[in-house]
Amino acid sequence: MGETLDLPIVASAAVTPEWMTGVLRKAGHDVTVSGVTGKRVGTGQVGESVRFTLSYKGDPKDAPATVVGKFPSSDPESRATGVNFGNYIREVNFYRELADSAGLTTPVCHHADVDPETSDFVLIMEDLAPAVPGDQMKGTTVKEAALVLEEAAKFHASHWNDEALDNVEWLFETKAAPKRTQPDLIRLLWQGFRERYGERIPADCIEIGEAITRNYEFFKDGYDGPKCLTHNDFRPDNMMFSTAEGGYPIAVVDWQSVGYGCCMADVSYFLSGALKREERNAHEHELLTTYHRRLKELGVSGYSREEMMKHYALYSFSLFNMAFTASMIVERTERGDNMFFQMLRGGADHVLDTGALDLLPE
């Protein structure tokens, strides 16, 4: 058992050997940290991730040589997004309360704390290197996509139709959770996106964006099927893949949007942007058939493939929706712009390929 220590919530620049000693002792490591150096890692826009290299007094035993810390964004706009949407509280609570039962591979969490009043938070987690992060701009191979959907099936099956989750206030879009994505806000973000990017937005994307915002209540509230835990930003940038040097085959990170909803909110979202359009069209039948079979093998019943495919089409809007909304509420960067337009294009192609516009009432 680890020690019971009262550790303050600190910013990345305030992490000291003494503080890290407390973290590791609380996690069950009988060690004293003598030195800490940090280096920013990742491309996250709502949170800041730092890899800390540790040195020890005496024998470190099985204590880690490196850990990864996550903190609020240093950009005021991105930080405000994390606070206003409950992202920081949500991620800390995921590691505290659900990571152990969620069914899929996530980094071991050594320390998780958040101030519910200010949303100041700190996470200290297992360093997943030599695994490397995926890249939304590059996408994945079909083999990697199959690996991702295997993890998705385990994750979704873990709390399938677990109605107790609907009473959890911090989970995204449960009955008990505050409504954070009101239709009027989505419409304002879409209009802002159109004004900011103008002619860069393809004509077919404008048509889809207008249709989504016109029918947003249906898109968000029209689902009445089975529910499960959902990641809600299930894309390559939030996954770590093994290399020849080692690492878990795949691990999923960034739990700021975890919620309770339709499994296709993750699967359709992922396939919209992770595979090139031609690859997705060529392989999605096999990938979805395997995913559906795994759900049944993991104990899920009463969810037909026909029902799944209807939901797959409905949630083809998800990546497109994330692209234009997120681009307007986080720090603007060149990579961010390019990534959001890659997501917008992939989402639009998926909507067109599934005929999802026909599902909307107007």
Q: DSSP letter string over 90-138?
A: HHHHIIIIIGGGS-S--PPEEEEEE-TTT--EEEEEE--TTSEE--TTT
| Distance (Å, whole) CA 198 – CA 194 | 5
> Which CATH number characterizes residue 47's domain?
3.30.200.20
Q: Looking at residue 3, what is its pLDDT?
A: 53
| Distance (Å, whole) CA 185 – CA 325 | 9
pLDDT tens digit at each of 362 positions of the chain: 345 458 999 999 999 999 999 999 999 999 999 999 999 997 667 889 999 999 999 999 999 999 999 999 988 888 998 998 899 999 999 999 999 999 999 999 999 999 999 999 999 999 999 999 999 999 999 999 999 999 999 999 999 999 999 999 999 989 999 877 788 999 999 999 999 999 999 999 999 999 999 999 887 777 889 999 999 999 999 999 999 999 999 999 999 999 999 999 999 999 999 999 999 999 999 999 999 999 999 999 999 999 999 999 999 999 999 999 999 988 899 999 999 999 999 999 999 999 999 999 87
Query: Are 202 and 282 part of one and the same domain?
Result: yes
Query: Are 154 and 40 part of one and the same domain?
Result: no
Q: Looking at residue 309, what is its pLDDT?
A: 97
For 66, 107, 349, the CA distances from 273, given in Å and listed in that order, are 32, 24, 9
**pLDDT tens digits for 1-46?**
345 458 999 999 999 999 999 999 999 999 999 999 999 997 667 8
Give 164: exposed, middle or buried? Use CB within 10 Å, 0-12, 13-18, 19+. exposed
| Distance (Å, whole) CA 166 – CA 164 | 5
Query: Are 119 and 140 part of one and the same domain?
Result: no
Number of H helices and E strands in the chain, helices first, is 12, 10
In a domain, residue 258? The reply is: yes
Query: Are 122 and 201 part of one and the same domain?
Result: no
Residue 235 token pair: 């894309």
Query: Are 254 and 151 part of one and the same domain?
Result: yes
In a domain, residue 252? The reply is: yes
pTM of the model: 0.94
At residue 44's C-alpha, the angle toward residues 125 and 348, to 5°, is: 130
Domain that holds residue 52: 12-126
Residue 325 token pair: 């909304």
Query: Are 214 and 138 part of one and the same domain?
Result: yes
In a domain, residue 7? The reply is: no
Q: Looking at residue 293, what is its pLDDT?
A: 98
Query: Are 268 and 215 part of one and the same domain?
Result: yes
Query: Are 57 and 74 part of one and the same domain?
Result: yes
In a domain, residue 278? The reply is: yes
> Which CATH number characterizes residue 301's domain?
3.90.1200
Supply φ then ψ for residue 296, to 5 degrees: -65, -40
Query: Are 80 and 216 part of one and the same domain?
Result: no
Last residue of a domain, one of 65, 99, 126: 126
Query: Are 157 and 139 part of one and the same domain?
Result: yes
Residue 280 token pair: 């997705």
Last residue of a domain, one of 126, 141, 163: 126
In a domain, residue 4? The reply is: no
Query: Are 300 and 160 part of one and the same domain?
Result: yes
* Count of structural domains, the chain: 2
What is the C-alpha R_g of the chain?
21
In a domain, residue 5? The reply is: no
Amino acid sitting at position 222: G
Query: Are 254 and 341 part of one and the same domain?
Result: yes
In a domain, residue 36? The reply is: yes
**Bridging pattern class, strands 239-243 and 47-56:** unpaired
| Distance (Å, whole) CA 13 – CA 52 | 11
Q: Which residue has the tokens 């000693």?
A: 21
In a domain, residue 347? The reply is: yes
DSSP 175-195: TTSPP---HHHHHHHHHHHHH
Last residue of a domain, one of 70, 93, 126: 126
Decide: 171 and 178 in contact? Cβ < 8 Å: no
